[in-house]
Chain A
Amino acid sequence: DSGVTQTPKHLITATGQRVTLRCSPRSGDLSVYWYQQSLDQGLQFLIQYYNGEERAKGNILERFSAQQFPDLHSELNLSSLELGDSALYFCASSDSGRLNNEQFFGPGTRLTVL
């Protein structure tokens, strides 16, 4: 158990819908990262937050947005969902947000878009 929790574990929805994925980092960690794992794209970095502020951005679609709240939990919002958005979405956390600090990964949320 990494200490990072993600809810829900599974999510099934329809095209065009909007969903919210939630992540609670390990106690004391200030930085949260979101990754998407799909069969065709592999494991891709989406976005990083540090203490409530966006720190780095990767291949995140404009239909996707994220935020980190004062209690440090984070949410990833996916809207106008398409079939290709079906994937496993991971959240990770680290204490300082720098590369030399280990990122601890949650178990993931599996999103299925029908």
Chain B
Amino acid sequence: AQSVTQPDIHITVSEGASLELRCNYSYGATPYLFWYVQSPGQGLQLLLKYFSGDTLVQGIKGFEAEFKRSQSSFNLRKPSVHWSDAAEYFCAVGAGGTSYGKLTFGQGTILTVHP
């Protein structure tokens, strides 16, 4: 069965600083990987996804993530954090190939941004 680990429950950064959120996955086949963001009181919004090809993927809001098969990781990065990035971030792995869309989520990382 697939699983996702986000080792950091809570991260605090200063506005303008760089950010890296860690994600490790376990899945027997080639994974479908996703990062979602959840703002307080909101649903989840997709930041970016990886299915195949270039291992560095660009997403919305200036985020990027790098797939590293050897490390089973899909870390999310942003070069300069804005106060509006404060939210909870979820990494997810998709199972079932292309036939259905079940997602398994990590426990989430809460990002706090200091001015």
Contacts and interface: CB of A to CB of B under 8 A. Distances in A.
Interface stretch (B11-19, B40-48, B63-71, B75-83): B40-48
Contact of A98 (B41, B45, B100): B100
B29 to A, nearest CB: 12
Contacts of B42: 107
Interface stretch (A39-47, A64-72, A73-81): A39-47
A103 interface: yes
Contacts of B97: 99
Which range holds the interface residue count of chain A?
Answer: 20 to 34
A94 B107 CA distance: 23
Contacts of A106: 43
Interface in A14-50: 31, 33, 35, 42-45, 48, 50
Nearest to B42: A107
B98 A48 contact: no
A92 B46 CA distance: 12
Interface of B: 32, 36, 41-46, 49, 51, 90, 94, 96-108
Interface of A: 2, 4, 31, 33, 35, 42-45, 48, 50, 55-56, 58, 90, 92, 94, 97-108
10 contacts: A4-B43, A35-B103, A43-B108, A56-B96, A56-B101, A56-B102, A97-B101, A98-B98, A100-B32, A103-B46
